[in-house]
Amino acid sequence: MDKLKVGIIGVGGIAQSRHIPAFQALEDRVEIIAVQDVNQDRAKEVAAKYDIPRTFVQYHDLFVHVNAVVICTPNKFHAEITVAALEAGVHVLCEKPMAMTTEECERMISAAKQSGKQLAIAYHYRHTDNAKLAKQAVLHQEIGEPLVTRVQALRRRKVPGWGVFTNKELQGGGSLIDYGCHLLDLAIWLLGDPEPVEVLGTTYNRLSKLPNQINDWGTFDHATFEVDDHVTSYITFDNGISMQMECSWAANIKEDTRHLSISGVDGGLSLYPFELYQPKLGTFMRSDAKVEHNETNAGYIQAENFVDSCLGQDELVVKPEQALKVTKIIDAIYQSSDTGSSVKLK
Ligand SMILES: NC(=O)c1ccc[n+]([C@@H]2O[C@H](COP(=O)([O-])OP(=O)(O)OC[C@H]3O[C@@H](n4cnc5c(N)ncnc54)[C@H](O)[C@@H]3O)[C@@H](O)[C@H]2O)c1
């Protein structure tokens, strides 16, 4: 079997910490043959560091030499580069969020359909052990019909101080599009992919504008901070499920809080840590502390799922139509906050 030839586009933080090690670990099936970045010095530095043979200045020139690309640029370029890669007949694993708007996601899906190539989105939380156990619990009816979902993606004073995360033009938003999106995706997947019907949202951009604020993840320019630092939302779905969602990069709370719980007709579950509540069994709670939110391992599984799907030996776990749903909700939260009214989705 020929190895899948892979190129990495945008070789900053996540490319180096997650994707390059994960794809290089699959050396029996994959070869990273090149990197491309608008920052040429960085491209050369990364190629040398990871022993990758080539660098490219333009991504179009890279497409001729690869079967697949991993797109790790700021959000603004996800749609443009994905569509160009698919039109060139190249499979794509695109970092999350899928894109900045619903319309961009729809263009990406249409390009994937026309090309017949794989389009995966890097919502890697689905590959963590506790997420997989929760999915099995829901599928095996251990909590019955899901009713109420609570999601919290709260970081205490951790605005990313690197890259362009506080730049609205390049990222499309802040804590919601960057961090909240992971837990939204995970919750919707666990719930069996229901359709959102109505979204009410409130976003804030206050704390991070104040000068002299403590931030645990480096420094950023407070004056140019244009994106949401806190978001709250209430989302209803076509099958009657409701979700309360809250996220922040800069919360004034005791400690970081990652929470996803689903309360169903017969029982419930939480993910952090994994716990299953089954009152019918008498023992109300079964917990498994050994089941972890192991993101590093999830990155390896994500790469393997993508590679094997490109080679026709597996099916993508994160499908683009599902990632589009997350972006639809994010768009609706931002719109609802701007207008002060809920947004009805068709
Ligand atoms: N899945 C996750 O948990 C996770 C974590 C971090 C980042 N991300 C996503 O990965 C993406 C990149 O984040 P990062 O932290 O690596 O950022 P980063 O700033 O560290 O790296 C981005 C790289 O892209 C390059 N770049 C910018 N514009 C480009 C273009 N048009 N073409 C080619 N290269 C370009 C930059 O020079 C830089 O090297 C974002 O979309 C972010 O949301 C996902």
Q: What is the pLDDT of residues 76-91, one digit of tens each?
A: 999 999 999 999 999 9
Q: Does position 244 have pLDDT exceeding 80, yes or no?
A: yes
294-328: pLDDT as tens digits: 999 999 999 999 999 999 999 999 999 999 999 99
- Using CA atoms, how far residue 126 sits from 138, 143, 207, in Å, is 14, 19, 31
Give the closest residue (by CA) to ligand 1 atom 2: 96
In the chain, pLDDT over 90 holds for what percent of residues? 88
- pLDDT tens by residue, 28-40: 999 999 999 999 9
Homologous superfamily of the 4-125+299-316 domain (CATH): NAD(P)-binding Rossmann-like Domain (3.40.50.720)
Give the containing element (helix H, strand E) for 308: helix 295-310
Greatest Cα pair distance, the chain, in angstroms, is 63
Span of 187-191, 262-266, 284-288 with lowest mean pLDDT: 284-288
133 CB within 6 A, ligand 1: no
Ligand 1 midpoint to CA 74 (Å)? 4
Pocket flag, ligand 1, residue 131 (CB < 6 Å):
no
CATH of range 128-293+326-344; options 1.10.10.10, 3.30.360.10, 1.20.1250.20, 1.10.274.50: 3.30.360.10
Across the chain, mean pLDDT equals 95
| Stretch (H or E) spanning 150 | strand 146-154
Average pLDDT in the 118-140 region? 96
Higher pLDDT residue, 200 or 280?
Answer: 200
> How far apart are the CA of 147 and the centre of ligand 1, in A?
36
- The whole-number pLDDT of residue 213 equals 79
Residue, of 163 and 203, whose pLDDT is higher? 203
Q: How far apart are CA 121 and CA 317, in angstroms?
A: 9
Q: Is 77 in the pocket of ligand 1 (CB under 6 A)?
A: yes
- Which pLDDT value is given to residue 73? 98
Q: How far is the CA of 207 from the centre of ligand 1 (A)?
A: 25
User: Roughly what angle, to the nearest 10 degrees, separates helices 320-339 and 181-190?
Assistant: 120
Does the Cβ of 72 fall within 6 Å of ligand 1? yes
**If you take atom 31 of ligand 1, which residue's CA is the nearest one?**
77
pLDDT classification of 286: cutoffs 50, 70, 90 = confident
Under a CB-based contact definition with an 8 Å cutoff, are residues 68 and 93 in contact?
Answer: yes
Burial category of 346 from C-beta neighbours within 10 Å (exposed 0-12, middle 13-18, buried 19 and up)? exposed
Measured between alpha carbons, how far is 329 from 110 in angstroms, rounded to an integer? 20
The reported pLDDT for the residue numbered 279 is: 84
Domain boundaries, the chain: 4-125+299-316, 128-293+326-344
Q: How confident is the model at residue 284 (pLDDT cuts 50, 70, 90)?
A: low
pLDDT band with cut points at 50, 70 and 90 for residue 288 = low
98 C-alpha vs ligand 1 centroid, how far in Å? Answer: 13
For residues 105-115, average pLDDT: 98
By the 8 A CB rule, do 239 and 127 touch?
no
Alpha-carbon span 57 to 315, nearest angstrom? 32
Q: Which residue has the higher pLDDT, 234 or 2?
A: 234
At 106, the pLDDT band (50, 70, 90 cuts) reads very high
